[in-house]
Amino acid sequence: MSGQRLAVTSAVTALAPAVWGTTYLVTTEFLPPDRPLLASVLRALPAGLILLLVTRTLPKGIWWWRAAVLGVLNIGAFFYFLFLAAYHLPGGVAALVMSVQPMIVLVLSALLLNDPIRQRHVVSCLFGAAGVGLLVLQPGAGLDGIGIAAGLLGALSMASGLVLTKKWGRPDGVGLLSFTGWQLTVGGLVLTPFALAHEGLPDHLTWSNIGGFAYLGVIGALVAYALWFRGVARLPALAVSFLAFASPLCATVLGYLVLDEALRPLQLLGAVAVIGAVVLAQPRAVSASAPRVRTTSRG
């Protein structure tokens, strides 16, 4: 893949985490309070069912349990921890805690994909960690134990799902939308009984609530995940994981512009470090050996 095509692919893939970075603003400003499970279900399940109705393709053989595993890791567990973190932390902080994901992917890729750990990858992780520290560890950052734990568990879930998606690929003849639909549906179905048991349904929904759920389902799930899995298919797992830094950057900017959250000079320096980590981690044209995601038999 040429350098220009790599850059375009990376930029398009980065749109997905940038959209996810708006989740924190939408959650706090438009959704009913204290309902992370309901928010997760309504974000994933409708979008997944729409894709299943459109594509009319179901898993076969070994892909039933693989789709279940990926759906839980990439969607179900990740969404829950994402919203839980959003309810307990300021938007930028929540997204930035979850940005430890590349460090987890670095280790899992070496263990499961036999990807070598290169010096620039380690440097990228160090730059990213330093940037996260500068962005998060500020006076009055609003750190909360539950939110921090949720963010870390969300990062672990998403990192595991990303690496397994790269390892297993997609079945022969199954398109990107079908693959995305499987996972969104599984994630939504897994969370539904927990949402009903622990949160129930709200007494009423405002038009703002409905608009927030619609945005998260259509743009934040259906569109964003299709772009994300497209990127996973074309880029190395670690490069994709670093693109997730677009989420905290977007959330931090929105927090500053819309929610009047403070943005200090050290945080700006942290943002520069994060951007540098993303650029450094992307594949080079001379070594554009990152194949598309392997397809496997429907087994």
pLDDT digits (tens, 9 = 90+) for 83-99: 788 777 765 566 667 77
**Half-sphere exposure of 24 toward its Cβ, with a 13 Å CA cutoff?**
33
Q: pLDDT grade, residue 176 (50/70/90)?
A: very high
Contact predicate 222/50, CB 8 Å: yes
Q: What is the DSSP string of 176-206?
A: HHHHHHHHHHHHHHHHHHHHHHHT---S---
Least reliable range by pLDDT among 33-42, 69-78, 177-186, 240-249: 240-249
129 Cβ contact list (under 8 Å, min separation 6):
100, 103
Secondary structure of residue 296 in the 3-state scheme: strand
Alpha-carbon distance 295 to 208, whole Å? Answer: 42
> What percentage of the chain carries pLDDT values higher than 90?
33
Q: pLDDT grade, residue 243 (50/70/90)?
A: confident
- Reading the block at residue 112, the tokens are 């499961």
What pLDDT shows up at residue 200? 84
Burial of 201 (0-12, 13-18, 19+ CB in 10 A): exposed
Domain boundaries, the chain: 3-290
What pLDDT shows up at residue 140? 57
